[in-house]
Copies of this chain bind each other. A is one copy, B any other.
Amino acid sequence: MTERIHNFSAGPAVLPVEVLEEAKENLLSLGNSGIGILEHSHRGSAFLAVYNQTVADCRKLAGIPDNYHVLFLQGGASSQFFMVPMNLLSKGQTADYLVTGSWSKKAVEQAQRFGTTHVAASSKDRNFCYIPKDASYSDAPAYVHFTSNNTIFGTQWAADPQVPSGVPLVCDASSDIFSRPIDVQKYGLIYAGAQKNLGPSGVTLVIIRDDLVKAGPLDIPEMLQYRTHAENESAYNTPPTFGIYLMGLVFKWMLKQGGLAEVQKMNEAKAKPLYDFLKQSSMFRGTADPGSESLMNVTFVTGDETLDKRFIAAAKEAGFDGLKGHRSVGGMRASIYNAFPAAGVQALVDFMRNFEASNG
Protein backbone atom coordinates (compact mmCIF):
# COMPACT_ATOMS: atom_id res chain seq x y z
CA MET A 1 0.00 0.00 0.00
CA THR A 2 1.11 3.56 -0.70
CA GLU A 3 2.61 5.28 2.34
CA ARG A 4 0.33 7.94 3.79
CA ILE A 5 1.67 11.49 3.77
CA HIS A 6 1.14 14.38 6.22
CA ASN A 7 -2.29 15.75 5.32
CA PHE A 8 -2.82 19.26 6.73
CA SER A 9 -6.03 19.82 4.74
CA ALA A 10 -8.58 22.13 6.38
CA GLY A 11 -11.41 19.81 5.39
CA PRO A 12 -12.21 17.23 4.16
CA ALA A 13 -9.37 16.26 6.45
CA VAL A 14 -7.36 13.36 7.80
CA LEU A 15 -9.32 10.53 9.47
CA PRO A 16 -7.99 7.97 11.96
CA VAL A 17 -6.35 5.07 10.13
CA GLU A 18 -8.27 2.51 12.20
CA VAL A 19 -11.56 4.16 11.16
CA LEU A 20 -10.59 3.91 7.49
CA GLU A 21 -9.47 0.30 7.95
CA GLU A 22 -12.79 -0.62 9.53
CA ALA A 23 -14.80 1.13 6.79
CA LYS A 24 -12.72 -0.71 4.21
CA GLU A 25 -13.56 -4.06 5.76
CA ASN A 26 -17.28 -3.27 5.61
CA LEU A 27 -17.58 -1.91 2.07
CA LEU A 28 -18.53 -5.24 0.50
CA SER A 29 -20.28 -6.64 3.56
CA LEU A 30 -21.26 -4.86 6.77
CA GLY A 31 -20.27 -7.46 9.33
CA ASN A 32 -21.54 -10.79 8.02
CA SER A 33 -24.70 -9.30 6.52
CA GLY A 34 -23.63 -10.00 2.94
CA ILE A 35 -24.54 -6.41 1.98
CA GLY A 36 -22.02 -3.54 2.00
CA ILE A 37 -22.48 -0.53 4.29
CA LEU A 38 -23.24 1.71 1.29
CA GLU A 39 -25.95 -0.68 0.08
CA HIS A 40 -28.05 -1.23 3.21
CA SER A 41 -31.55 0.22 3.31
CA HIS A 42 -31.79 3.10 5.78
CA ARG A 43 -34.90 1.39 7.19
CA GLY A 44 -33.33 -2.07 7.57
CA SER A 45 -32.21 -3.53 10.89
CA ALA A 46 -28.50 -3.49 10.02
CA PHE A 47 -28.38 0.24 9.35
CA LEU A 48 -30.74 1.06 12.21
CA ALA A 49 -28.28 -0.65 14.56
CA VAL A 50 -25.50 1.56 13.16
CA TYR A 51 -27.68 4.66 13.54
CA ASN A 52 -28.70 3.85 17.13
CA GLN A 53 -25.12 3.16 18.18
CA THR A 54 -23.92 6.38 16.54
CA VAL A 55 -26.51 8.47 18.39
CA ALA A 56 -25.80 6.69 21.70
CA ASP A 57 -22.04 7.20 21.33
CA CYS A 58 -22.53 10.85 20.41
CA ARG A 59 -24.68 11.39 23.51
CA LYS A 60 -22.15 9.60 25.71
CA LEU A 61 -19.15 11.42 24.28
CA ALA A 62 -20.57 14.92 24.72
CA GLY A 63 -22.92 14.29 27.66
CA ILE A 64 -25.94 15.38 25.67
CA PRO A 65 -29.05 15.71 27.87
CA ASP A 66 -32.32 13.97 26.92
CA ASN A 67 -34.05 17.23 25.98
CA TYR A 68 -31.65 17.67 23.04
CA HIS A 69 -32.04 15.97 19.67
CA VAL A 70 -29.07 14.59 17.74
CA LEU A 71 -29.72 15.06 14.00
CA PHE A 72 -27.78 14.15 10.88
CA LEU A 73 -28.63 16.62 8.14
CA GLN A 74 -27.24 17.47 4.73
CA GLY A 75 -26.06 20.63 3.00
CA GLY A 76 -23.16 21.50 5.27
CA ALA A 77 -22.85 24.32 7.78
CA SER A 78 -23.74 26.65 4.88
CA SER A 79 -27.28 25.28 4.96
CA GLN A 80 -27.46 25.92 8.70
CA PHE A 81 -26.62 29.57 7.98
CA PHE A 82 -30.17 29.96 6.61
CA MET A 83 -31.95 27.14 8.46
CA VAL A 84 -31.09 28.67 11.85
CA PRO A 85 -32.75 32.06 11.18
CA MET A 86 -35.52 30.45 9.10
CA ASN A 87 -36.46 28.39 12.17
CA LEU A 88 -35.46 30.59 15.10
CA LEU A 89 -35.91 34.18 13.92
CA SER A 90 -39.17 35.94 13.04
CA LYS A 91 -39.78 39.29 11.35
CA GLY A 92 -39.72 41.85 14.12
CA GLN A 93 -37.13 39.94 16.13
CA THR A 94 -33.39 40.55 16.27
CA ALA A 95 -30.64 37.92 16.18
CA ASP A 96 -27.20 38.78 17.50
CA TYR A 97 -24.04 37.60 15.77
CA LEU A 98 -20.47 37.55 17.03
CA VAL A 99 -18.41 38.04 13.88
CA THR A 100 -14.94 36.52 14.09
CA GLY A 101 -14.24 35.48 10.53
CA SER A 102 -15.48 34.65 7.04
CA TRP A 103 -17.95 31.97 8.12
CA SER A 104 -19.68 34.05 10.80
CA LYS A 105 -19.89 36.87 8.25
CA LYS A 106 -21.62 34.52 5.82
CA ALA A 107 -23.92 33.34 8.60
CA VAL A 108 -25.06 36.86 9.48
CA GLU A 109 -25.59 37.73 5.80
CA GLN A 110 -27.92 34.75 5.33
CA ALA A 111 -29.95 35.73 8.41
CA GLN A 112 -30.76 39.21 7.14
CA ARG A 113 -33.65 38.12 4.96
CA PHE A 114 -35.52 36.54 7.89
CA GLY A 115 -35.42 39.30 10.51
CA THR A 116 -33.16 41.95 11.98
CA THR A 117 -29.53 41.14 12.69
CA HIS A 118 -27.16 42.86 15.07
CA VAL A 119 -23.40 42.40 15.12
CA ALA A 120 -22.75 42.30 18.88
CA ALA A 121 -18.99 41.98 18.49
CA SER A 122 -16.51 41.80 15.64
CA SER A 123 -12.78 41.42 15.16
CA LYS A 124 -12.87 42.72 11.60
CA ASP A 125 -10.82 45.82 12.58
CA ARG A 126 -7.68 43.66 12.76
CA ASN A 127 -8.55 41.16 10.02
CA PHE A 128 -10.05 38.68 12.49
CA CYS A 129 -6.77 37.86 14.23
CA TYR A 130 -8.37 37.77 17.67
CA ILE A 131 -11.50 36.79 19.61
CA PRO A 132 -13.29 39.88 20.99
CA LYS A 133 -13.50 40.14 24.79
CA ASP A 134 -16.71 42.17 24.97
CA ALA A 135 -20.05 42.15 23.21
CA SER A 136 -22.92 44.62 23.20
CA TYR A 137 -26.07 42.59 22.84
CA SER A 138 -29.39 43.92 21.60
CA ASP A 139 -32.45 43.87 23.85
CA ALA A 140 -33.86 40.34 24.03
CA PRO A 141 -32.21 38.81 20.95
CA ALA A 142 -33.89 35.70 19.49
CA TYR A 143 -30.50 34.01 19.80
CA VAL A 144 -26.78 34.73 19.83
CA HIS A 145 -24.74 33.04 17.11
CA PHE A 146 -21.00 32.50 17.16
CA THR A 147 -18.34 30.41 15.38
CA SER A 148 -16.29 28.57 17.99
CA ASN A 149 -13.22 28.11 15.78
CA ASN A 150 -12.27 30.17 12.75
CA THR A 151 -10.69 27.78 10.26
CA ILE A 152 -9.44 30.53 7.97
CA PHE A 153 -7.97 32.92 10.54
CA GLY A 154 -6.67 30.34 13.03
CA THR A 155 -8.52 31.69 16.06
CA GLN A 156 -10.69 29.90 18.60
CA TRP A 157 -12.90 30.93 21.49
CA ALA A 158 -11.05 29.82 24.64
CA ALA A 159 -14.37 29.79 26.52
CA ASP A 160 -18.04 30.14 25.57
CA PRO A 161 -19.21 33.74 25.10
CA GLN A 162 -21.28 35.10 27.98
CA VAL A 163 -24.81 35.73 26.76
CA PRO A 164 -27.84 37.29 28.48
CA SER A 165 -29.70 34.76 30.60
CA GLY A 166 -32.39 32.81 28.75
CA VAL A 167 -31.10 33.68 25.27
CA PRO A 168 -30.34 30.58 23.17
CA LEU A 169 -26.69 30.33 22.21
CA VAL A 170 -26.18 28.97 18.69
CA CYS A 171 -22.76 27.69 17.69
CA ASP A 172 -21.19 26.82 14.39
CA ALA A 173 -18.67 24.31 15.74
CA SER A 174 -17.72 22.86 12.35
CA SER A 175 -14.00 23.10 12.86
CA ASP A 176 -13.56 22.30 16.54
CA ILE A 177 -16.51 20.17 17.59
CA PHE A 178 -15.53 17.47 20.08
CA SER A 179 -11.95 18.74 20.22
CA ARG A 180 -12.57 19.42 23.92
CA PRO A 181 -15.37 18.88 26.45
CA ILE A 182 -18.54 20.82 25.73
CA ASP A 183 -21.30 21.84 28.14
CA VAL A 184 -24.24 21.22 25.81
CA GLN A 185 -26.76 22.71 28.28
CA LYS A 186 -25.30 26.16 27.66
CA TYR A 187 -26.42 25.93 24.03
CA GLY A 188 -29.71 26.07 22.19
CA LEU A 189 -28.25 24.65 18.99
CA ILE A 190 -24.82 23.37 17.92
CA TYR A 191 -24.05 22.48 14.34
CA ALA A 192 -21.01 21.14 12.55
CA GLY A 193 -20.21 19.97 9.06
CA ALA A 194 -18.55 16.59 9.59
CA GLN A 195 -15.57 16.97 7.30
CA LYS A 196 -13.10 18.40 9.82
CA ASN A 197 -13.42 16.56 13.12
CA LEU A 198 -16.18 14.01 12.61
CA GLY A 199 -16.09 12.21 9.28
CA PRO A 200 -16.56 12.76 5.56
CA SER A 201 -18.18 15.76 3.89
CA GLY A 202 -21.90 15.49 3.17
CA VAL A 203 -23.29 15.09 6.68
CA THR A 204 -23.92 17.80 9.26
CA LEU A 205 -24.32 17.06 12.96
CA VAL A 206 -27.02 19.20 14.61
CA ILE A 207 -27.63 19.13 18.37
CA ILE A 208 -30.77 21.10 19.18
CA ARG A 209 -32.87 21.69 22.31
CA ASP A 210 -36.38 20.29 22.09
CA ASP A 211 -38.22 23.54 22.91
CA LEU A 212 -36.53 25.26 19.94
CA VAL A 213 -37.59 22.41 17.66
CA LYS A 214 -41.18 22.70 18.88
CA ALA A 215 -41.30 26.49 18.55
CA GLY A 216 -40.20 26.42 14.90
CA PRO A 217 -42.51 27.62 12.11
CA LEU A 218 -44.77 25.26 10.16
CA ASP A 219 -45.07 27.36 7.01
CA ILE A 220 -41.64 26.56 5.55
CA PRO A 221 -40.79 23.45 3.47
CA GLU A 222 -40.87 20.29 5.62
CA MET A 223 -37.24 19.47 4.79
CA LEU A 224 -36.16 22.84 6.23
CA GLN A 225 -37.95 22.39 9.56
CA TYR A 226 -35.85 20.90 12.38
CA ARG A 227 -39.15 19.39 13.56
CA THR A 228 -39.33 17.09 10.53
CA HIS A 229 -35.92 15.60 11.16
CA ALA A 230 -36.36 15.40 14.94
CA GLU A 231 -39.72 13.62 14.65
CA ASN A 232 -38.36 11.18 12.07
CA GLU A 233 -34.97 10.49 13.67
CA SER A 234 -33.15 11.94 10.65
CA ALA A 235 -34.96 9.51 8.32
CA TYR A 236 -37.80 11.64 6.92
CA ASN A 237 -36.04 11.00 3.64
CA THR A 238 -32.99 8.86 2.93
CA PRO A 239 -30.18 10.10 5.18
CA PRO A 240 -26.48 10.07 4.19
CA THR A 241 -26.02 6.55 5.59
CA PHE A 242 -22.31 6.16 4.95
CA GLY A 243 -21.53 9.53 6.55
CA ILE A 244 -23.49 8.54 9.66
CA TYR A 245 -21.71 5.19 9.78
CA LEU A 246 -18.30 6.82 9.49
CA MET A 247 -19.16 9.44 12.11
CA GLY A 248 -20.10 6.55 14.40
CA LEU A 249 -16.67 5.00 13.89
CA VAL A 250 -15.04 8.34 14.72
CA PHE A 251 -17.14 8.63 17.91
CA LYS A 252 -16.00 5.13 18.92
CA TRP A 253 -12.41 6.12 18.25
CA MET A 254 -12.79 9.24 20.45
CA LEU A 255 -14.35 7.21 23.26
CA LYS A 256 -11.41 4.82 22.99
CA GLN A 257 -9.00 7.76 23.40
CA GLY A 258 -10.70 8.33 26.76
CA GLY A 259 -13.38 10.83 25.77
CA LEU A 260 -13.29 14.57 25.16
CA ALA A 261 -11.15 15.53 28.19
CA GLU A 262 -8.40 13.23 26.92
CA VAL A 263 -8.89 14.41 23.35
CA GLN A 264 -8.36 17.98 24.56
CA LYS A 265 -5.11 17.02 26.30
CA MET A 266 -3.94 15.32 23.10
CA ASN A 267 -4.79 18.41 21.07
CA GLU A 268 -3.01 20.76 23.49
CA ALA A 269 0.10 18.60 23.57
CA LYS A 270 -0.01 18.25 19.79
CA ALA A 271 -0.24 21.96 18.95
CA LYS A 272 2.31 23.09 21.56
CA PRO A 273 5.54 22.28 19.68
CA LEU A 274 4.32 24.26 16.67
CA TYR A 275 3.21 27.32 18.66
CA ASP A 276 6.41 27.14 20.74
CA PHE A 277 8.49 27.06 17.59
CA LEU A 278 6.59 30.01 16.06
CA LYS A 279 7.24 32.10 19.19
CA GLN A 280 11.02 31.75 18.91
CA SER A 281 11.42 31.59 15.14
CA SER A 282 13.02 34.53 13.37
CA MET A 283 11.50 33.52 10.01
CA PHE A 284 7.94 32.41 10.84
CA ARG A 285 5.33 34.02 13.06
CA GLY A 286 1.82 33.03 14.04
CA THR A 287 -0.95 35.39 12.91
CA ALA A 288 -3.43 34.91 15.79
CA ASP A 289 -3.16 36.97 18.97
CA PRO A 290 -1.95 35.14 22.07
CA GLY A 291 -5.00 33.80 23.90
CA SER A 292 -6.98 33.54 20.67
CA GLU A 293 -4.89 30.85 19.00
CA SER A 294 -6.69 27.84 17.59
CA LEU A 295 -5.67 24.31 18.53
CA MET A 296 -7.20 23.14 15.24
CA ASN A 297 -5.83 25.52 12.59
CA VAL A 298 -2.42 27.07 13.12
CA THR A 299 -1.94 30.02 10.77
CA PHE A 300 1.46 31.57 10.17
CA VAL A 301 3.45 33.69 7.73
CA THR A 302 7.02 34.65 6.98
CA GLY A 303 6.03 38.20 6.13
CA ASP A 304 7.32 37.69 2.59
CA GLU A 305 4.88 36.21 0.08
CA THR A 306 7.61 34.86 -2.16
CA LEU A 307 9.22 33.08 0.76
CA ASP A 308 5.80 31.74 1.83
CA LYS A 309 5.39 30.21 -1.62
CA ARG A 310 8.86 28.73 -1.57
CA PHE A 311 8.23 27.23 1.83
CA ILE A 312 4.87 25.71 0.78
CA ALA A 313 6.42 24.19 -2.34
CA ALA A 314 9.38 22.75 -0.43
CA ALA A 315 7.06 21.36 2.25
CA LYS A 316 4.81 19.74 -0.35
CA GLU A 317 7.85 18.17 -1.95
CA ALA A 318 8.80 16.74 1.44
CA GLY A 319 5.34 15.17 2.00
CA PHE A 320 3.57 17.95 3.95
CA ASP A 321 0.37 18.51 2.02
CA GLY A 322 -2.29 21.21 2.34
CA LEU A 323 -0.22 23.91 4.09
CA LYS A 324 -1.26 26.74 1.79
CA GLY A 325 -3.34 29.30 3.69
CA HIS A 326 -6.91 30.01 2.61
CA ARG A 327 -7.07 32.03 -0.61
CA SER A 328 -8.63 34.96 1.28
CA VAL A 329 -5.66 35.44 3.66
CA GLY A 330 -2.56 33.83 2.14
CA GLY A 331 0.40 32.55 4.17
CA MET A 332 0.35 29.08 5.68
CA ARG A 333 -2.14 27.06 7.67
CA ALA A 334 -1.60 23.74 9.38
CA SER A 335 -4.94 22.11 10.13
CA ILE A 336 -4.37 19.62 12.91
CA TYR A 337 -7.79 18.32 13.88
CA ASN A 338 -8.38 15.49 16.37
CA ALA A 339 -7.29 12.76 13.97
CA PHE A 340 -4.07 14.47 12.88
CA PRO A 341 -1.16 12.55 14.43
CA ALA A 342 1.17 14.35 16.90
CA ALA A 343 4.18 12.92 15.06
CA GLY A 344 3.10 14.85 11.97
CA VAL A 345 3.22 18.16 13.84
CA GLN A 346 6.65 17.35 15.23
CA ALA A 347 7.83 16.43 11.73
CA LEU A 348 6.56 19.78 10.43
CA VAL A 349 8.36 21.69 13.20
CA ASP A 350 11.59 19.86 12.35
CA PHE A 351 11.11 20.67 8.68
CA MET A 352 10.43 24.36 9.43
CA ARG A 353 13.50 24.57 11.66
CA ASN A 354 15.68 23.11 8.89
CA PHE A 355 14.09 25.36 6.28
CA GLU A 356 14.78 28.39 8.45
CA ALA A 357 18.40 27.32 8.99
CA SER A 358 18.98 26.76 5.27
CA ASN A 359 17.14 29.88 4.06
CA GLY A 360 17.76 32.32 6.90
Contacts of A33 in B (CB 8 A): 2, 5
Does residue A42 face the partner (Cβ distance < 8 Å to B)?
yes
Can you list 20 A-B pairs, Cβ within 8 angstroms, ordered by A?
Answer: A2-B33, A4-B36, A9-B40, A10-B41, A13-B39, A20-B27, A24-B27, A24-B28, A34-B321, A74-B74, A74-B76, A75-B75, A78-B222, A81-B223, A82-B221, A113-B219, A201-B239, A202-B202, A202-B240, A202-B243
CB distance from A25 to the nearest CB of B (A): 9
Does residue A319 face the partner (Cβ distance < 8 Å to B)?
yes
Contact A246 B201 (CB under 8 A): no
In the complex, A246 Cα to B38 Cα: how many Å?
A: 10
Could you say which of B17, B27, B81, B202 contacts A74, with CB atoms under 8 Å apart? B202
Contacts of A201 in B (CB 8 A): 42, 238-242
Contacts of A79 in B (CB 8 A): 74-75, 223
Contact A241 B113 (CB under 8 A): no
Contacts of A31 in B (CB 8 A): 2
Does residue A7 face the partner (Cβ distance < 8 Å to B)?
yes
Contact A238 B39 (CB under 8 A): no
In the complex, A23 Cα to B9 Cα: how many Å?
A: 21
The main secondary structure of chain A at its interface with chain B is loop
Copies of this protein in the complex: 2
Does residue A21 face the partner (Cβ distance < 8 Å to B)?
yes
CB distance from A246 to the nearest CB of B (A): 7
In the complex, A75 Cα to B237 Cα: how many Å?
A: 8
Could you say which of B20, B236, B240, B241 contacts A38, with CB atoms under 8 Å apart? B20
Q: Which of A13, A34, A201 has the most CB of B within 10 A?
A: A201
Does residue A29 face the partner (Cβ distance < 8 Å to B)?
yes
* A41/B322 contact (C-beta < 8 A), A221-B110, A224-B82 known: yes
| Contacts of A174-224 to chain B: CB distance below 8 A | 193, 195, 199-203, 219, 221-224
Contacts of A28 in B (CB 8 A): 1-2, 4, 17, 20-21, 24
Does residue A14 face the partner (Cβ distance < 8 Å to B)?
yes
Could you say which of B29, B75, B242 contacts A2, with CB atoms under 8 Å apart? B29
Contacts of A248 in B (CB 8 A): none
CB distance from A280 to the nearest CB of B (A): 30
Contacts of A219 in B (CB 8 A): 113
Does residue A77 face the partner (Cβ distance < 8 Å to B)?
yes
Does residue A163 face the partner (Cβ distance < 8 Å to B)?
no
CB distance from A1 to the nearest CB of B (A): 6
Q: Which of A32, A75, A246 has the most CB of B within 10 A?
A: A75
